[in-house]
Structure 1
Amino acid sequence: MTQPAPSGEPETAAPVLALVDDDDDIRSSLSRALRLRGFEVETFASAAAFLGTDMPLRFDCLILDYGMPGMNGLELQCELNARGAAPPIVFITGHGGVPESVQAMKGGAIDFLEKPFRQPVLIERIQAACEIAAERRLRNAADRALAERFSRLTAREMEIVERMIESPSESSSKEVGRHLGISPRTVDHHRARILEKLGVRSVAELIDLARQRG
């Protein structure tokens, strides 16, 4: 399902939401309303059912009921955080209070909405969650691309890069060679290969790129 785009513009994929709630009527009515708003929605009757999904992070937002039998919403949030697999979460609840709300927000939730809530408020929170998910995917894609570039380097080339990061003021071929026990000419050779493989033009660009790896 895609959102229609103006003529001449590419279509964009609709945000994909997960709705976890043990109430059949809420799953049915809320998922219907969200689909009418242009979202794709997958529904789950329990936390355990959601944990059975292959890739929780593929969802742009998780709309999560707090008061479910078995594993409740907060427990599911904790489990997803422990796995590093929590999409942005909007809690909906008819049972939670201030302590539960505080715990949810500390765990990274976008909001903790009490039933009955106004649908426009929920939509606004979902849109905020989708923006966070999109930014996270862009950041993760950039990190993967950076890691792939550095994976092209040999062990010796990585040694040289790490030395230049550790001591930028001593990054000349002579100084790096002295530290690693190799000739300046050999360092020059490796340096040229490093710049070529990483697609940078100078040592300053190389050091800046390497620091982006964290």
Structure 2
Amino acid sequence: MIFDPQVVYIVDDDEDVRIALSRSLSKRGMQVEHFPDAQAFLNQVHEDAKGCLILDYGMPGMDGLELQDHLNRRDSTLPVIFISGHGGIPESVRATKAGAIDFLEKPFDLQVLVERIQAAFELGTKLRAEKTRRRMLADKRRLLTEREEQVLQHILTHPSRTSSKEIATALGISPRTVEIHRGRIQQKVGVKTTIELYELFGQMH
């Protein structure tokens, strides 16, 4: 079995900080890669890389918050931990509202950072699994015809009115036609009941 370790990515324009953090975390058995700016990181690391991102808040060019926003727009699953020598409450609030795990002011306790990294690794694993699940469901949904999609939409938006007669009335088709479409939907996505269908797609709606 191939071991695929999680990586701590450090983005900080202060070389001394990057090297010191990299050495300290490496001594604790972590795999570390570091970058001098946001663009260097984006050029080399995929947004769904396994691990977490330790990100300096204030950097020239694209700053930490802008990089976080960029990753969020790309639906990144890489958890972010901010570090800053000049951050305050407003900056911390902005970062955490945008999804950061924590905002640590320099100098910070290394053990606190290690604990945040471990939490980030766990969160990242969950986020990647959920993203894989969403992609799988989207792929299955693309197999549906236009009418099958309409039937599914009705089931998801009206979970208390999913009888064939109720769906038929809403869509202007016969109950028998609804039953045929429902059966094809369930076959295509791999479920046996309407309840399973709702449980599978309900959170995506």
TM-score grouping bracket, smaller chain normalisation: 0.7 to 0.9
Of the structure 1 ranges 185-194 and 143-152, higher mean CA displacement relative to structure 2 is found in: 185-194
Structure 1 pair 39/175, CA: closer, same or farther in 2 (3 Å)? same
- The equivalent residue for 2:17 is 26
RMSD: 2.6
Matched-pair contact (CA < 8 Å) for 1:93–1:115: yes
- The equivalent residue for 1:107 is 98
Instruction: Note the residue ranges of structure 1 that are not aligned, 5 or more in a row.
Output: 1-9
Task: Give 2:34's match in structure 1, choosing from 43, 55, 72.
Answer: 43
- The equivalent residue for 1:3 is none
* Equivalent-residue separation in structure 2 for 1:113 and 1:194 (angstroms): 49
Structure 1 pair 167/82, CA: closer, same or farther in 2 (3 Å)? closer
- The equivalent residue for 1:209 is 200
> For 1:9-45, what per-residue CA distance to the aligned partner results, in whole angstroms no more than 9, with x for missing partners?
x664221121111222222232122223232222111
Q: Tell me the SS of whatever aligns to 2:78.
A: coil
> For 1:157-210, what per-residue CA distance to the aligned partner results, in whole angstroms no more than 9, with x for missing partners?
222222344445553434434444444433333332222222222223223333
Query: Taking structure 1 as the reference length, what is the TM-score of the superposition?
Result: 0.79
- Higher relative contact order, chain-length normalized (CA < 8 Å, sep 6+): 2
- The equivalent residue for 1:135 is 126
Query: Taking structure 2 as the reference length, what is the TM-score of the superposition?
Result: 0.82
* Equivalent-residue separation in structure 1 for 2:88 and 2:158 (angstroms): 53
1:194 partnered with 2:173? no
- The equivalent residue for 1:153 is 144
Asked which structure has the greater CA Rg, the reply is 1
Matched-pair contact (CA < 8 Å) for 2:77–2:124: no
Matched-pair contact (CA < 8 Å) for 2:47–2:74: no
- The equivalent residue for 1:4 is none
* Equivalent-residue separation in structure 2 for 1:70 and 1:19 (angstroms): 16
Matched-pair contact (CA < 8 Å) for 1:67–1:93: yes
Of the structure 1 ranges 176-185 and 157-166, higher mean CA displacement relative to structure 2 is found in: 176-185
The sequence identity of aligned pairs, in percent, is 51
- The equivalent residue for 2:52 is 61
For these two proteins, the number of residue pairs brought into alignment is: 205
* Equivalent-residue separation in structure 2 for 1:74 and 1:95 (angstroms): 14
